[in-house]
Structure 1
Amino acid sequence: MRLDDFTAPNTSAARGALALSRQYYSPAMKNHVLRSWYIAEGIAVAHAIEGLDHELLYVSALLHDIGISEEFDNDTLSYEHAGGHVGIALTAGAGWSSDRRQRVLDVVVRHNWTSVDPDLDPEGYVLELATGLDVTGANLDVLPRSFLEELTNTFPRGTFGREFSTAVARQASKKPDTSAARLMANDLPGRMRRHPLEPIP
């Protein structure tokens, strides 16, 4: 498995999601969402997930943390719900149907679930596993180590650990009834520092 095995969709929604990721994420956060997409596609292959909507997965992966960005932070909604609504707005402009726009919200929200049933939501399933792997190294053995090392070398982690744990802590403080608080209660900063591929000092 190599990065070249996966090609980003060439659609207006995909290009828009990439443009938003470049404008509103820091370099480290942008690398995280791109790594998450590659990992999700790799997991889909490893788990033989069929019928995946690759455009939906790409858009959702690139926008799954955009609700953390200051410009899209919501006073009451969790950051994953806020980000999902950004996805709805983007895909409405790209001409997606109402039902398919709702799927972006579903997938982005479910990436923060503790688990997702692949029969319920295959895109949400692979994105939840992918983000867990990239953030803390969970289920690292599902993909070849050579693939993950190529991915990390191409899209370095940099300051991701510090940035993400700080942002989630801020979300948890402002919105203690959201998933951000659960992540912090589960020692997100410590788990990120112990990431097996690239421990963060």
Structure 2
Amino acid sequence: MDFIFTRPDSKAAAAALEVCHEYAEPWLLNHSLRAYSLAAAHAAVVDIAHDGELLYVAALLHDLALTPPFDSHTLPFEEAGAHVAWVFAAGAGWGRVRRDRLAEVIVRHMRADVPADEDPESHLLQVAVGADVSGRGLDRFAERVKDDVVTRYPRLGFVDAFLDRAEAQAERKPRCAAAELMRDGWAERVAGNPLDAPGR
């Protein structure tokens, strides 16, 4: 199933990877690559038709607003990240409708669950990010897929680094989605993600 790790063959996809390499710390870069890989794997297994380039770029850029250069002290990180992605997509030559879709997918990854038939890219990113961050829905994935994803893109201290950023978001923006999740025990779920189990 190596095809699940293949980057879409487009200039925008290559540029998104370059941007993520430049601005995301290794633990965050690998999270973004795991998110795309899990999203693509899930789409293949349950046969969800989707725009592969849009999904890839959204997965690579979805958490850039957790990095110091793009962190907003007023906007929730997913909304700030959507703005960053919109500007990126404009530079990549995407039309306004496609730029808006990219921003929408990134915002929706932190919102209520989206059905696949309503918005396949947002649904796939939600499934993948939920599995990689807190272990939500990991049973949707075969053990081989989980092992391959973590082997190719190691966790690299993801839990501590991510929770540090999430806690900072919650403290500064108490009405944001991250703050609501933290109040609902998100930190414990992230720390208990089976992807971080010893010997995995």
Calculate the TM-score normalised by the size of structure 2.
Answer: 0.94
1:82 alignment partner, one of 55, 59, 80: 80
Measure the CA separation in 2 of the matches of 1:72 and 1:115.
26
- 1:120 Cα deviation from its structure 2 partner: 2.2
Structure 2 gaps, min length 5: none
For 2:163 and 2:118, locate their aligned partners in 1 and report how far apart those are by CA, in whole Å: 29
| Paired letter, 2:180 | R
Establish whether residue 137 from structure 1 lines up as the match of residue 125 from structure 2. no
Contact kept, 8 Å, 2:86 with 2:103, in 1: the verdict is yes
The answer to whether the Cα contact below 8 Å between 2:132 and 2:195 also exists between their aligned partners in 1 is no
Instruction: Quote how far apart the aligned CAs of 1:157 are.
Output: 0.6
Q: Is the 8 A contact 2:106 2:122 kept in 1?
A: yes
1:78-127 Cα distance to aligned partner (Å, 9 max, x none): 10011111111111111111000001111001111231122221100010
In structure 2, how many angstroms separate the alpha carbons of the residues matched to 1:110 and 1:100?
Answer: 15
Q: Which amino acid aligns with 1:187?
A: G
1:119–1:34: structure 2 CA closer, same or farther, 3 Å change rule? same
What letter corresponds to residue 25 of structure 2 in structure 1?
S
Q: Check whether the contact 1:36–1:134 (CA below 8 A) recurs between aligned residues.
A: yes
Q: CA deviation at 1:75?
A: 2.0
The CA deviation at 1:136 is: 1.1
2:146 is the alignment partner of 1:183: no
- Structure 1 residue 124 and structure 2 residue 122: aligned? yes
Task: Tell me which residue corresponds to 1:15.
Answer: 14
2: CA distance between counterparts of 1:63 and 1:12?
15
Structure 1 window deviating more from structure 2 (188-197 vs 55-64): it is: 188-197
For residue 89 of structure 2, what is the aligned residue in structure 1?
Answer: 91
Aligned match of 2:103:
105
Q: Please name the residue that 1:149 is paired with.
A: 147
1:37 is matched with which residue?
36
1:63 matched to 2:61: yes
Number of residues of Structure 1 aligned to a counterpart in Structure 2: 198
Question: Quick one: distance in 1 between partners of 2:175 and 2:195?
Answer: 31
Q: Secondary structure at the match of 2:194?
A: coil
Go from structure 1 to structure 2 and tell me whether the alpha carbon gap of 1:190 and 1:199 turns closer, same or farther (over 3 Å shift): farther
What's the secondary structure of 2:195's corresponding residue? coil
Whether 1:28 aligns to 2:27 is yes
Q: In structure 2, do the counterparts of structure 1 residues 154 and 6 end up closer, same or farther at CA, with 3 Å as the change threshold?
A: closer
Backbone CA RMSD of aligned residues = 1.3
Q: Which segments of 5 or more consecutive residues in structure 1 lack a partner in the other structure?
A: none
> What's the TM-score once normalised by structure 1's chain length?
0.94
Corresponding residue of 1:166: 164
Equivalent residues of 1:91, 1:101 under 8 A apart: yes
After superposing on structure 2, the runs of 4+ consecutive aligned residues of structure 1 that deviate more than 6 Å are: none
Deviation at residue 19 of structure 1 after TM alignment: 1.0
Q: Structure 1: which amino acid aligns with 2:81?
A: G
Code of the aligned partner of 1:196: P
The change in CA–CA distance for 1:59 and 1:5 in structure 2 (over 3 A counts) is closer
| Structure 1 residues 150 and 17: CA distance shift in structure 2, 3 A | same
